[in-house]
Amino acid sequence: MGGGPSVPKNATWHRHAYEVIRQETLFTEGETYALMRRFSSFLDKNHCTLEDSVRADKLRELPEIKNHPLRDRILYTYSMPISGDAKASVIKNPTVQTLIKACENLTVRTITCHEFIRMLGAFHRRATFDMKASAAFRLYDFTADDFITVVDIRTLFAMMVGQNVMTYELDSVAQQMLKEADVDGNNELNQEEFKRILKRMPDFMAKFSFSIEFPSY
């Protein structure tokens, strides 16, 4: 490849971190190093481990996502409740409003360096269709029940266009999308049914990508 970021000589660098990252993303060793240095700057440090974490709202200004309509949802998906009790964040009888509100409440969540790199890895231009499709499924599954249902699609649309512009037309588009892709007719989409929708979207790969900053150190 050449030209990409590299690990400087004499760098404090734990190669085992890269061994983990390269099994999950297509980042090179130099890119992994650059991303870990970027993450350590949020901690006001020069170095960090994959386990180090920051409060999720601190990443709202990340250049890659700060103008993304799903910014808070992306950060929510890759973060954990600070209390460590994931069950406490399960929303009972979810509505579009409660699901969006949960995503906006990032001050009670924490994101590790590992998840930060996974997050950018999914949106990396080199990520494969399957990598992006799995990430998209997780991102759009607002209710976290491993199925995409009409409330997930409604929430997605409302987040993209703003809740107050959410119209009956968009709602019927949501219903229609679900109906068309729901092969077994159980009113919810599993990963396979969902991937079929994405395959029909010619711009999915491009839309689910952004360029990532790799400063040199």
Q: Give me the residues that bind Ca ion (CB under 5 A), please.
A: 141, 143, 145, 147, 152, 182, 184, 186
Q: Which is nearer to Ca ion, 147 or 217 (CB)?
A: 147
With CA atoms as reference, report the closest residue to 141 among 60, 73, 69.
73
d(Cα 100, Cα 85) in Å, to the nearest integer?
20
Q: In the bound complex, what is the minimum distance in angstroms from residue 96's beta carbon to Ca ion?
A: 12
Q: Which is nearer to Ca ion, 64 or 182 (CB)?
A: 182
Q: Which is nearer to Ca ion, 57 or 152 (CB)?
A: 152
Q: Which is nearer to Ca ion, 31 or 152 (CB)?
A: 152
d(Cα 42, Cα 58) in Å, to the nearest integer?
8
Indicate the DSSP class of residue 80.
E
Which residue sits closest to Ca ion, CB atoms considered?
143
Contact (Cβ atoms closer than 8 angstroms) between residue 75 and residue 65: yes
Q: In the bound complex, what is the minimum distance in angstroms from residue 7's beta carbon to Ca ion?
A: 40
Q: In the bound complex, what is the minimum distance in angstroms from residue 107's beta carbon to Ca ion?
A: 24
State the amino acid at position 161 in one-letter form. V
With CA atoms as reference, report the closest residue to 128 among 177, 79, 199.
199
Q: In the bound complex, what is the minimum distance in angstroms from residue 200's beta carbon to Ca ion?
A: 16
Contact (Cβ atoms closer than 8 angstroms) between residue 32 and residue 22: yes
Q: In the bound complex, what is the minimum distance in angstroms from residue 189's beta carbon to Ca ion?
A: 5
List the structure tokens of 54.
Answer: 């920051």
Q: Which is nearer to Ca ion, 180 or 184 (CB)?
A: 184
Q: Are strands 109-112 and 53-55 parallel, antiparallel or unpaired?
A: antiparallel
